Amino acid sequence: MSSTESCTGHWGQADLYEQILSELSALSKPLHSLTVEDLAPMDHFHARGFPATVELADKLPASSEQCLLDIGCGVGGPARYLAQRFACRVTGIDITESFVETGNRLTALVGLETQVQIELGDGQRLPYADDQFDGAYSQHVTMNVADRAAFFAEACRVLKPGGFFALTEHGLGDTGNPCYPVPWSLDGSGSYLIPIDETRALLEENGFEAIQIEQTGARYLSGYRAAVAKAEAGTLPSFGVHLLMGESAVEQMRNAGRNIEEGRTCPIQLICRKRR
């Protein structure tokens, strides 16, 4: 199995859109007036969810009239939020077909089709022209990307000179040897974590500069602990990212926290720009 097949197999899910609608209906959310914020507990599929997207957005030099690219956009929560917040256009690309289909249907539900479009594709081979986008970002995707150099080179190629690139990921910590299952891999297959220094070096080698890296482990750890505590107390809201994570969701979150605590992983948020 190729790394691409193992990745789409890991994330893919049948009937996802119907499942989301059924959860929304259980919450008595009328679909005709659904907002980006109503979907936010479920569609920001990364550590700490929506608050982490808002914190990243606070730091982006994004503005209206821009065209942004969300690489590995999942079901599109961050793309819809940024499009609405900055009144810009966002193209999302994701390798998992069920996420692309669900993402476009959710975008239509909240009436953002003219600003957000989600397409099927691989971040290691982007189907876009050189110098096309004003900015790009990729949240919690690269843990599954085997050819990190190709992924960064492609992100750089499609950006205009000076365009920004933001990345969040779980890097490999000094202890190494992460415990599985985690949200991006049930048993270690398809998981390609690298240390922060290697990420920085690969970005520099592939055309980026002004790389600012922030370690986000402490914030993620408290987020995972809070989610696990709620799950154990039976108070985890039914509408949440665990809808996208399968049966071992709680164990995945517990391990994600443990990995950070024991220095097996080292999560980061990074912002840089394409060299002019």
Number of residues in contact with ligand SAM under rule CB under 6 A: 24
Residue 169 interacting with ligand SAM (CB under 6 A)? no
Query: What is the spatial distance between Cα 151 and Cα 206, in angstroms, rounded to a whole number?
Result: 9
Token pair of 239 as six digits: 């509408």
Enclosing H/E stretch for 36: helix 36-43
Residue 90 interacting with ligand SAM (CB under 6 A)? no
In the complex with ligand SAM, the residue whose CB is nearer, 12 or 176, is 12
Angle between the 49-59 and 77-86 helix axes, to the nearest 10 degrees? 40
> What single DSSP character describes residue 33?
G
246 close to 183: Cβ distance less than 8 angstroms: no
Residue 190 interacting with ligand SAM (CB under 6 A)? no
Q: Using CB under 6 A, which of 39, 145, 260, 271 touches ligand SAM?
A: 145
Query: What is the spatial distance between Cα 217 and Cα 261, in angstroms, rounded to a whole number?
Result: 8
Query: What is the spatial distance between Cα 270 and Cα 131, in angstroms, rounded to a whole number?
Result: 21
Segment near ligand SAM (CB under 6 A); pick from 13-21, 93-101, 203-211, 258-266:
93-101
Token pair of 18 as six digits: 């119907």
Residues numbered 105 to 124 that lie near ligand SAM (CB under 6 A) are 122-124
Residue 20 interacting with ligand SAM (CB under 6 A)? no
Least spacing, CB of residue 127 vs ligand SAM, in Å: 11
Token pair of 229 as six digits: 């505590």
In the complex with ligand SAM, the residue whose CB is nearer, 73 or 243, is 73
Segment near ligand SAM (CB under 6 A); pick from 69-77, 199-207, 219-227, 265-273:
69-77
- Which of 68, 85, 80 has the alpha carbon at shortest distance from 108? 80
Least spacing, CB of residue 28 vs ligand SAM, in Å: 25
Give the residues lining the site for ligand SAM (CB under 6 A).
7, 11, 44-46, 72-74, 77-78, 93-96, 99, 122-124, 139-141, 144-145, 183
